[in-house]
A and B are shown apart, each in its own frame.
Chain A
Amino acid sequence: EIVLTQSPGTLSLSPGERATLSCRASQSVRSSYLAWYQQKPGQAPRLLIYGASSRATGIPDRFSGSGSGTDFTLTLSRLEPEDFAVYYCQQYGTSPRTFGQGTKLEIK
């Protein structure tokens, strides 16, 4: 099983700042099948990024993903008030699919 470790656990920033979230895999993720999701309280997760770097439909270009192999990054270039939420990475290249434990992005 591929273990995904997200860091930091909590990130405190202000609107307008840049956020960098990390997701590290215990072994290489096949074909960069790595996705990022955003979840707000009381809501279902929403797909942001798939294939490590492709934005999902309707996702603003301030969200970007990068990385390959075992190291992946989600970057939010300029934080908007609605971006404060929990973010999860997930690998879907190997079964069982696994999620990271999440990074909470909170307002400073």
Chain B
Amino acid sequence: EVQLVESGGGLVQPGGSLRLSCAATGFTFSNFGMNWVRQAPGKGLEWVSYISDNSNIIYYADSVKGRFTISRDNAKNSLYLQMNSLRAEDTALYYCARAWELDYWGQGTLVTVSS
């Protein structure tokens, strides 16, 4: 069974940093591209970033480019999102999701940016 479990969320002050993790089980992680998608409270879905299976291809939304860095460790079956220079508008539930078409999602980890 495919499982994605996010962790690392929490309360952080504006300008601060946070690193999210996503642990993957139930499939061959190194064969799939992965994504981060976020959802602000009561709002719709916003795609954040994508990384290919071998990390050669990386994309970011304009809203996070230059502040967030996506990475992965295929030996540890893990996906990461390093978030720097956090802003209030980054407050959201952050999901990791598998593949181009986002066929499996985790349950999300909540990031709150507030003073």
B65 to chain A minimum Cβ distance, whole angstroms, is 9
Asked if A68 lies at the interface with its beta carbon under 8 angstroms from chain B, I say no
CB neighbours (8 Å) of B62 from chain A are 1, 96
Contact present for B103 and A99 (CB under 8 Å): no
Give the secondary structure class of B's interface.
loop
Q: Knowing A44-B95, A90-B45, A102-B44 touch, does A97 contact B50 (C-beta < 8 A)?
A: yes
Q: Report how many residues on chain A are interfacial, defined by Cβ distance under 8 Å.
A: 24
Tell which of A12-20, A21-29, A45-53, A77-85 binds the partner.
A45-53
What is the predominant secondary structure among interface residues of chain A facing chain B?
loop
Q: Residue A70 at the B interface, CB < 8 A?
A: no
Chain B: CB-nearest residue to A102: B44
Q: What residues of B have a CB within 8 angstroms of the CB of A1 in the complex? A: 62
**Chain B residues with Cβ under 8 A from A39's Cβ?**
45
Count of B interface residues, CB-CB < 8 Å: 20
**A45 adjacent to B101 (CB under 8 Å):** no
Closest to A6 in B: B44
Which A residues, 22 to 44, have Cβ-Cβ distances below 8 Å to chain B?
33, 35, 37, 39, 44
Q: Please determine whether B103 and A47 come into contact, CB atoms closer than 8 angstroms.
A: yes
Is B73 at the interface (CB under 8 A from chain A)? Answer: no
